[in-house]
A and B are shown apart, each in its own frame.
Chain A
Amino acid sequence: GIQVEQSPPDLILQEGANSTLRCNFSDSVNNLQWFHQNPWGQLINLFYIPSGTKQNGRLSATTVATERYSLLYISSSQTTDSGVYFCAVEGSGTYKYIFGTGTRLKVLA
């Protein structure tokens, strides 16, 4: 099945810093989502981005499906950005989302 790797696995930032999270996948995909999992376990939708670039406030994402990766940019990070960031991909013809390995982000005040 499709393999989804995220990097870095862990990231510590000072408040106000910028960061880039990466999601690599091993096969072609039909869909891709980015989620933020808060400390209570809730998965919050950030982007639904099978291809192209989207922006929402301090966050933006780019998916280059032909090169099998997606990037999540966080600018001017805040302590509330702390948590785990997952990408999830739907491999072509599979009709199911597989989650990446996750990036654990901690933003220090």
Chain B
Amino acid sequence: DTEVTQTPKHLVMGMTNKKSLKCEQHMGHRAMYWYKQKAKKPPELMFVYSYEKLSINESVPSRFSPECPNSSLLNLHLHALQPEDSALYLCASSLRQRGEAFFGQGTRLTVV
């Protein structure tokens, strides 16, 4: 089983809302990732967690707040987003922070 599950699949939120994206895997992977993908562009790395600790933050604005409550779960908390933050948000996991990565189906976020 190489499944990474993301919820919700679609999200529309206002600029003053607070929402969260959820990512779950049960493969025993200890590295988890958030990527952001704009239309017709490649995915761009946002955050990397390794053994539930934040390992890499690619200078992401503080309106995006990641959280890794346990080894199977990764959240991305969203607050005061801008319309330009509308994108496909992809979660991935790998056995360690080096190795084959597996991606979820993504959450398509629209900020209005």
Chain B: number of interface residues, binned into ranges? 20 to 34
Residues of B within 8 A of A41 (CB): 37, 88, 90, 105-106, 108
The minimal Cβ–Cβ distance linking B53 to chain A, given in whole angstroms, is 13
Contacts of A100 in B (CB 8 A): 42
Docked CA distance A98–B33 (Å): 12
Q: Is the CB of A95 within 8 A of B90?
A: no
Partner of A42, one of B2, B97, B106: B106
Secondary structure class of chain A's binding surface, majority of residues: strand
By a CB distance below 8 angstroms, the chain A residues around B44 are 99
Find A101's partner among B37, B42, B92 (CB 8 Å cutoff). Answer: B42
A31 x B42 contact (CB < 8 A): no
Which residue of chain B has the shortest Cβ distance to A94 in the bound complex? Answer: B56
B contacts with A: majority SS: strand
Interface string of A32-76 (1 = CB under 8 A from B): 010100001111010010000000000000000000000000000
| 8 additional contacts (CB under 8 A) given A43-B90, A95-B98, A96-B56 | A30-B98, A33-B101, A41-B88, A42-B103, A86-B42, A95-B48, A96-B33, A96-B48
Q: Can you list 15 A-B pairs, Cβ within 8 angstroms, ordered by A?
A: A31-B100, A33-B101, A41-B88, A41-B90, A42-B103, A42-B105, A43-B43, A43-B90, A43-B92, A45-B102, A96-B33, A96-B48, A97-B33, A101-B42, A102-B42
Chain B residues with a Cβ under 8 A of chain A: 2, 33, 37, 42-45, 48, 50, 55-56, 88, 90, 92, 97-103, 105-106, 108
